[in-house]
């Protein structure tokens, strides 16, 4: 019986070795999958932050132009047509991608109208780092990519009547020889998400323009 037991144990040993090797391979494979998932998540985070940064920078660029646009007939219809804010927005997107160890891909930038009163920014980034070495061949050279789109939306309207009173002139009786009073531009009020806001001083830009990620 002793000899038989030793023989059975000797035959089982290779099976144990194969099982342990298989379990180790599965463990390393799961680790590789985790590495790939983390890299993809990093790419998506970089894309999201880059798109949001682009829209927020555009909001900052457009802010000073809001009052002038409100005072001009149809001015708010054209505020997004001035493309001067696009270049700074792209620089901001690239900067935030780099902070997250990623970069804009060739052709990975798009900016254009996103509907009535909206402007959208779409970015596609690639991680500067790879998945890393693993039991899966080629992962050491594999980068992750991701895309994201952010929208800059004008969230205000002019109240009925244009949001301003009639221009008022200075009182009569101005001394002879002094310039006569000129009409004083009336204060402009806008309604943002149901709340009336005077534009002097200009309200916080986040109350005038909404920034959000979209699918």
Does the predicted model carry a pTM greater than 0.75? no
Residues in the chain: 215
Q: Is it the case that residue 170 has pLDDT exceeding 50?
A: no
- At 143, give phi and psi (nearest 5°): -95, 160
| Per-residue pLDDT tens over the stretch 14-51 | 666 666 666 555 555 555 556 667 788 899 999 999 99
Distance CA(122)–CA(210), nearest Å, equals: 16
Q: Using CA atoms of 56, 57, 63, 69 in order, give the dihedral in degrees to the nearest 10.
A: -100
State the pLDDT at residue 152. 95
**What proportion of the chain, given as a percentage, has pLDDT over 70?**
63
Distance CA(49)–CA(146), nearest Å, equals: 12
Q: What is the Cα gyration radius of the chain?
A: 31
* Residue pair 188/159 in contact by the 8 Å Cβ criterion: no
| Per-residue pLDDT tens over the stretch 94-143 | 999 999 999 999 999 999 998 888 999 999 999 998 866 554 555 567 88
């Amino acid at each position: 019986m002793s000899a038989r037991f030793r023989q059975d144990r000797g035959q089982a040993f290779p099976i144990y070795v194969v099982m342990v090797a298989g379990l180790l391979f599965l463990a390393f494979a799961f680790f590789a999958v985790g590495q790939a998932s983390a890299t993809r998540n990093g790419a998506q985070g970089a894309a999201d932050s880059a798109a949001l940064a682009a829209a927020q920078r555009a909001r900052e660029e457009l802010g000073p132009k809001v009052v002038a646009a409100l005072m001009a007939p149809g001015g708010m219809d054209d505020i997004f047509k001035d493309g001067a804010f696009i270049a700074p927005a792209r620089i901001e997107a690239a900067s935030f991608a780099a902070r997250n160890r990623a970069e804009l891909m060739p052709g990975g930038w798009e900016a254009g109208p996103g509907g009535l009163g909206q402007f959208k920014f779409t970015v596609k980034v690639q991680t500067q780092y790879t998945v890393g070495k693993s039991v899966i061949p080629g992962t050491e050279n594999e980068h992750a990519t991701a895309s994201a789109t952010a929208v800059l939306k004008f969230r205000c309207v002019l109240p009925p009547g244009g949001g301003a009173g009639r221009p008022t002139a200075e009182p009569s009786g101005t001394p002879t020889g002094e310039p006569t009073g000129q009409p004083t531009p009336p204060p402009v009020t806008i309604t943002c998400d149901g709340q009336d806001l005077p534009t002097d001083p200009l309200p916080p830009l986040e109350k005038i323009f909404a920034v959000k990620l979209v699918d």
